[in-house]
DNA sequence: ATAGCACGGTACAACGTTGTACCAATATGC
DNA sequence: GCATATTGGTACAACGTTGTACCGTGCTAT
């Protein structure tokens, strides 16, 4: 068995509390005692037992991150950013995957699977406004992304509508007029879903430009996968629907669409300009490179961790929930005609 | 505060042990008592405190996974597979990133940062044979990938050499004779590194085919990133080195190379056939889709979790370390001339 | 009738830590 | 020279669980 604080205390001829004080840099211990204890700790290879510490202090030093799947690039990159942000505060991250499944999402929130984490960063995919009550659990939660507004928890999100509007305007600036939208929701119910928020920006931009919309240009339904993007373009082509630009509601859709465009012999950006959303790493290496909305992933991760830590350390009354929106930007690359000679690494 | 086992016991009029027995499906409790306790648990929303349980049982139900970075697709996908495999055994996964940095790798192994995990899956990038001693820590460790052989721990790996040989043979079968290698190591010291093992397979295949090698076709040094792949191809072109195929030692390198090839107006696979290694998701959506060596990621993850669990449950003497190699296969796609009409999702 | 036993349950200690309360010795103030 | 801080330390309880040992009741087998 690994040595405990008792073993160290015995070997050093002091009380266990003194060892504890040394370990925690508690001032109440003289310099030479401190040195002696440190030496014994080193010699024995003592490491505090985090379960015991967690039990005693009520903190484990671990936060949870629940995302649909790490196989979706955006979430892998988000997880990377979260782990880095957490590390700065000496926190570790436990990752759960929900597969975008409502049952699994709820089970994580209620199941107590994560009982010893100090707090949870939760990126919901399916649960929405109607599930607000399951969020009022005990542990601090910070929500990432959309779907639940006015809930009882902090919320870090992005400028979905205005950035989507900016993306559409970028295509309009290129002179495109028949701009397709891929990845729209097939249900208007959940007005706060990413899909519906972003779609709103699309409509706003077109309206302000005085463009008459063709509803056939909007592909609804389907998961935000490459298949959906690919099928969307195929649908346009096989039905003779003409388009000169595509706004895909995330990069994965855009990359799927890109594949179908190339396959069909359409040139990007000459025949069709293409813009995605998320600015995943892959977009700077696709052929052509992909113009995309950068939703501020790094800022989202860092803000979320900061908010969560505040909640964890909050004593007494829980203060009112806050919502933070990260700054966005449009990253212009080859798929809308902007040369990126050197396909450099993303930030 | 959340309710404890004591609250439940008081409300149900039983002892805390009985509640514990109910929670753990211990048989020593009558049906109606069990029902009553269950009801109270439900009503109070009681969830066992995992820190306390962990302290008492010496197990936390959490395993660690240390990888260079989730931003590298292979590791994101590996993490996904590990989380899924762990979930089947009701284990949770805590992820640490080492950034492929030797200091960070060592600090994870020695630092006790992960003190309350039951075991660690460790995917080393920098530490090697010379660091074998830091592995003989207390907690069970299973190594993923290469670099350390004959160490004191279990080891789940892949058929690096024979699969690399098969990859090269695949290119030879297409009639290619000037096969470039991208991603080779610039140090022959660490014979057990993935790079050197795979390179050996390349040489073996060429030798058996009776092909005289041109050392200029081997690009050494650089991280396994898209940039390195891209730079490799640029180097060939700008130096007038002729080649008709590329074996990239991982898919990221291959995708970088692909970008440079397209940029240079070379057709894949007509002018240059291309094969990668890892079979990451992205390869089935690149343009053209990427032929790759599938190293058996799923099998690796599941085997590793199984081995780790065995170690965790092992009592007394630690048995001899084992090494398992997963089965590989060559996934033939467009980059070596195999049509994949429908760019379907990977397994 | 009684030993034996299964059943359903309880009491208590222990896991390894840290907070609270306390204490002894030395230094400080007037 | 005596009260009073200050410093460096100790003892003990408590965090919430589960394993071990135990106990009472009622049933079965002799």
Within a 13 Å sphere around the CA of A277, how many CA atoms are in the beta-carbon half? 32
Nearest to B80 among A71, A116, A226 (CB): A71
Q: How confident is the model at residue B29 (pLDDT cuts 50, 70, 90)?
A: confident
Nearest to B345 among A97, A116, A227 (CB): A227
Q: How many helices (H) and strands (E) does chain B have?
A: 11, 12
Residue nearest to nucleotide C16 (CA to C1'): A52
Asked whether residue A190 carries a pLDDT value surpassing 90, the answer given is no
What pLDDT is attached to residue B328?
Answer: 96
pLDDT digits (tens, 9 = 90+) for A295-345: 999 999 999 999 999 998 887 667 888 999 999 999 999 999 997 654 443
B291 touches chain A (CB under 8 A): no
B264 touches chain A (CB under 8 A): no
Helix H or strand E encompassing B322: none
What's domain B160-294+330-336's architecture?
Answer: 3-Layer(aba) Sandwich (3.40)
Q: How far is the CA of B7 from the C1' of D25 (A)?
A: 27
Within a 13 Å sphere around the CA of B333, how many CA atoms are in the beta-carbon half? 29
End-to-end CA distance of chain A: 45
Asked if B152 contacts B132 with a C-beta cutoff of 8 angstroms, the reply is yes
User: Which residues 40-59 in chain B have a CB closer than 7 A to strand C?
Assistant: 52, 55-56, 58
Within chain B, residue ranges assigned H as helices are 5-12, 16-23, 31-44, 50-57, 73-88, 102-110, 160-173, 194-208, 226-238, 251-263, 297-313
Name the closest residue on chain A to residue B257, using Cα atoms: A285
Average pLDDT in chain B: 90
A50 touches chain B (CB under 8 A): yes
**Burial of residue A266, with CB atoms counted within 10 A of its CB: 0-12 exposed, 13-18 middle, 19 or more buried:** middle
- Stretch B108-124: mean pLDDT: 82
A76 touches chain B (CB under 8 A): yes
Closest alpha carbon to B289 in B299, B302, B276: B276
What pLDDT is attached to residue A330?
Answer: 97
Residue A77's alpha-carbon distances to A82, A203, A300, B77, B82, in angstroms, are 9, 29, 12, 12, 17
Closest alpha carbon to A277 in A193, A187, A159: A159
What pLDDT is attached to residue A344?
Answer: 42
Average pLDDT in chain A: 90
CATH H superfamily, domain A62-158+297-314:
Response regulator (3.40.50.2300)
Q: Is the CB of B18 under 7 A from strand C?
A: yes
Domain ranges in chain B with CATH number 3.40.50.2300: 62-158+297-314, 160-294+330-336
Q: What is the dihedral of CA B134, B137, B143, B147, to 10 degrees?
A: 10
A251 touches chain B (CB under 8 A): no
What pLDDT is attached to residue B110?
Answer: 79
Query: Which residue out of B70, B99, B254 would a mutagenesis test of the A interface target, given it has the greatest number of A Cβ atoms within 10 Å?
Result: B70
Q: How far is the CA of B55 from the C1' of C20 (A)?
A: 23
Q: Is the CB of B6 under 7 A from strand D?
A: yes
> Which bases of strand D have any atom within 7 Å of the beta carbon of a protein residue?
7-12, 14-21
B93 touches chain A (CB under 8 A): yes
**Mind telling me how many Å the CA of B88 is from chain A's nearest CA?**
13
Asked if A114 contacts A84 with a C-beta cutoff of 8 angstroms, the reply is no
Which residues in A lie closer than 8 A to residue B55 (C-beta atoms)? 49, 51-52, 54-55
What pLDDT is attached to residue A192?
Answer: 75
Asked whether residue B327 carries a pLDDT value surpassing 50, the answer given is yes
Helix H or strand E encompassing B119: strand B119-122
User: Which residues 67-86 in chain B have a CB closer than 7 A to strand D?
Assistant: none
**Whether the model pTM is above 0.85:** yes
Nearest to B282 among A96, A115, A282 (CB): A282
Residue B150's CB: how many other CB atoms inside 10 A? 10
Residue B182's CB: how many other CB atoms inside 10 A? 29
Within a 13 Å sphere around the CA of B182, how many CA atoms are in the beta-carbon half? 33
Return the HEC string of chain A. CCCCHHHHHHHHCCCHHHHHHHHCCCCCCCHHHHHHHHHHHHHHCCCCCHHHHHHHHCCCCEEEEEECCCCCHHHHHHHHHHHHHHHHCCCEEEEEECCCCHHHHHHHHHCCCCCCCCEEEECCCCCCHHHHHHHCCCCCEEEECCCCCCCCCEEEEECHHHHHHHHHHHHHHCCCCCEEEEEECCCCCCCCCHHHHHHHHHHHHHHHCCCCCCHHHEEECCCCCHHHHHHHHHHHHHCCCCCCEEEECCHHHHHHHHHHHHHCCCCCCCCCEEEEECCCHHHHCCCCCCEEEECCHHHHHHHHHHHHHHHHHCCCCCCCCCEEEECCEEECCHHHCCCCCCCCCCC
Q: From the alpha carbon of B26, which nucleotide's C1' atom is closest?
A: D18
Report the DSSP beta bridge partners of residue A291.
A275
Q: How confident is the model at residue B308 (pLDDT cuts 50, 70, 90)?
A: very high
Which residues in A lie closer than 8 A to residue B96 (C-beta atoms)? 83, 92
**Mind telling me how many Å the CA of A343 is from chain B's nearest CA?**
8
The pair of structure tokens assigned to B214 is: 């041109």
Q: What are phi and psi of A92, to 5 degrees?
A: -105, 160
Q: In what order do the strands lie in the sheet with A119-122?
A: A323-326, A154-158, A141-144, A119-122, A62-67, A92-97, B92-97, B62-67, B119-122, B141-144, B154-158, B323-326
The pair of structure tokens assigned to B174 is: 């297409």
Report the DSSP beta bridge partners of residue A94.
A64, B94
Asked if A117 contacts A54 with a C-beta cutoff of 8 angstroms, the reply is no
Q: What are phi and psi of B99, to 5 degrees?
A: 55, 25
What pLDDT is attached to residue B344?
Answer: 43
Report the C-alpha gap between A232 and A222 in whole angstroms: 10
Helix H or strand E encompassing B93: strand B92-97
Q: What DSSP character marks residue B115?
A: T
Length, in residues, of chain A: 347
Asked whether residue A41 carries a pLDDT value surpassing 50, the answer given is yes
Q: What are phi and psi of A162, to 5 degrees?
A: -70, -35
pLDDT digits (tens, 9 = 90+) for A111-161: 666 677 889 999 988 877 777 777 766 678 999 987 666 678 899 999 999
Q: How confident is the model at residue B139 (pLDDT cuts 50, 70, 90)?
A: confident
Asked whether residue A275 carries a pLDDT value surpassing 90, the answer given is yes
A315 touches chain B (CB under 8 A): no
In chain B, the percentage of residues whose pLDDT exceeds 90 is 65
What pLDDT is attached to residue A237?
Answer: 96
Helix (H, G, I), strand (E, B) or coil at B281: helix
Q: How confident is the model at residue A7 (pLDDT cuts 50, 70, 90)?
A: very high
Report the C-alpha gap between A26 and A4 in whole angstroms: 18
Asked whether residue B317 carries a pLDDT value surpassing 60, the answer given is yes
- Stretch A52-77: mean pLDDT: 92
Residue the block writes with tokens 């696709």: A286
Q: Is the CB of B30 under 7 A from strand C?
A: yes
Helix (H, G, I), strand (E, B) or coil at B243: coil
A71 touches chain B (CB under 8 A): yes
């Amino acid at each position: 068995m690994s040595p405990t604080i008792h073993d160290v205390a015995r070997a050093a001829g002091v009380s266990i509390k003194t060892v504890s004080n040394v370990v925690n840099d508690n001032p109440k211990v003289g310099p030479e005692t401190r040195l002696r204890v440190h030496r014994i700790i080193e010699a024995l290879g003592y490491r505090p037992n985090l379960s015991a510490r967690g039990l005693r202090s009520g903190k484990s030093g671990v936060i949870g991150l629940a995302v649909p799947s790490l196989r979706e690039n955006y979430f892998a990159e988000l997880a990377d950013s979260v782990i880095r942000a957490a590390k700065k505060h000496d926190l570790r991250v436990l990752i759960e995957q929900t597969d975008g499944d409502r049952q699994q999402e709820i089970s994580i929130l209620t199941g107590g699977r994560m009982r010893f984490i100090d707090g949870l960063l939760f990126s919901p995919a399916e649960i929405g406004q109607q599930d607000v009550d399951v969020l009022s659990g005990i542990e601090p939660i910070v929500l990432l992304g959309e779907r639940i507004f006015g809930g009882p928890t902090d919320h870090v999100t992005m400028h979905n509508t205005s950035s989507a509007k900016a993306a559409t305007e970028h295509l309009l600036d290129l002179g495109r007029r028949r701009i397709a939208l891929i990845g729209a929701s097939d249900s208007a119910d959940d007005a706060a879903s990413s899909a519906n928020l972003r779609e709103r920006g699309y409509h706003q931009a077109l309206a302000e430009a005085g463009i008459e919309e063709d509803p056939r240009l909007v592909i609804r339904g389907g998961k935000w996968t490459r298949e959906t993007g690919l099928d969307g373009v195929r649908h346009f082509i096989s039905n003779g629907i003409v388009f000169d630009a595509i706004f895909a509601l995330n990069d994965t859709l855009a990359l799927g669409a890109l594949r179908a465009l190339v396959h069909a012999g359409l040139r990007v950006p000459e025949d069709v300009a293409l813009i995605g959303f998320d600015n995943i790493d892959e977009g700077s290496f696709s052929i052509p490179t992909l113009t995309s909305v950068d939703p501020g992933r790094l800022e989202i991760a860092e803000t979320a961790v900061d908010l969560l830590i505040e909640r964890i350390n909050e004593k007494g009354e829980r203060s009112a929930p806050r919502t933070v929106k990260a700054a966005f930007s449009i990253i212009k690359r080859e798929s809308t005609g902007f040369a990126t000679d050197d396909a450099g690494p993303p930030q």
